Copies of this chain bind each other. A is one copy, B any other.
Amino acid sequence: MTALQRAKNELAVANRILVRQGVFDEDGHISLRHPDDPNRYMMSRALSPAFVAPDDILEFTLDGNPVAPDARALWVERFMHGAILAARPDIHAVLYARSEDLLPFGVAQSALRPVIASVGDMGTRVPAWDIADSFGGSTDLSVSTLERGRDLARCLGSDRIVLMRGMGFVATGRSLNDVVRLSVYLPRNARTLAAATGFGKIAALSAGETKARLAIDPESSAMRRGWDYWARQAGCAHWLAD
């Protein structure tokens, strides 16, 4: 299998995992930098992520244009993925989801922070982006242009996650598994944080603990333990076979 074909298969698996884990619903998309060309990325056509198969993965340039003409519908948010990958050479994968457990943090602008060890690598700062700040109060909230995507990328800065009011969040990863793993744990962390908020004083991970978690190789076997299990749960482990 070529590196490109493997990347397509893994991206399809990521879509299915994220649906099965409740991060994606009938919406949600994930992109991966091209394995051979850092100025390109791959992403599915506009399709409910539960339906995405390797043949639905297309190639794009960083300004969000498809490399080859394609008659199929494309996500308008592809510009956003490109803008983030252009702004952040250290990042190899980008995910947008409207996971319900994170939405309240964007809506109430409550600080999202790591309280469970598994998301220690999210960092201690999560910026919150409000489309109205730059584009006024009459948009449909969708990040559907390159301009909006670049504005969001600026808000993300050098962090790993950005909350989007009324829309959900964008997470980034050093690898595909890195962003999938983080995104599966983010809702659990959000639920734990919300529940603990009702109890009193919260002990979040310290800066030192966050740094120690970030230092763990995202491709180590411990960090990849979920991937194989989730792929089997999602019924698409066969796309990972050699």
Q: Give every chain B residue within 8 A of A242 (Cβ-Cβ).
A: none
Q: Is A58 close to B, CB under 8 A?
A: no
B-facing residues in A193-228 (Cβ within 8 Å): 193-206, 208-209, 211-213, 215-216, 221-222, 225-226, 228
Q: Are B166 and A115 in contact (CB under 8 A)?
A: yes
Q: Which A116-134 residues have a C-beta within 8 angstroms of B? A: 116-118, 120, 130, 132
Assess A115 versus B107: contact at CB under 8 Å? Given A213-B140, A225-B26: yes
Chain B residues within an 8 Å CB radius of A196: 103-104, 107-108, 110
Q: Count A interface residues, CB 8 Å.
A: 68
Which residues of the partner chain B approach A118 to less than 8 Å between Cβ atoms? 98
Produce 1/0 per residue, A57-100, CB < 8 A to B: 00000000000000001001000000000000000000000101
Q: Flag if A203 contacts B117 (CB, 8 Å).
A: no
Do A229 and B48 contact each other (CB < 8 Å), given the known contacts A107-B192, A203-B130? yes
Most buried by B among A76, A104, A105, A206: A104
Q: With both chains docked as a complex, state the minimum distance between the C-beta of A120 and any C-beta of chain B, in angstroms.
A: 7
A141 in the interface (beta carbon within 8 A): yes
**Least Cβ distance of A17 to chain B in Å?**
11
Among residues of B, the one whose C-beta sits closest to the C-beta of A105 is: B199
- A residues with a Cβ closer than 8 A to B are 26-27, 46, 48, 50-51, 73, 76, 98, 100-101, 103-105, 107-110, 114-118, 120, 130, 132, 136-142, 165-167, 188, 191-206, 208-209, 211-213, 215-216, 221-222, 225-226, 228-230, 233
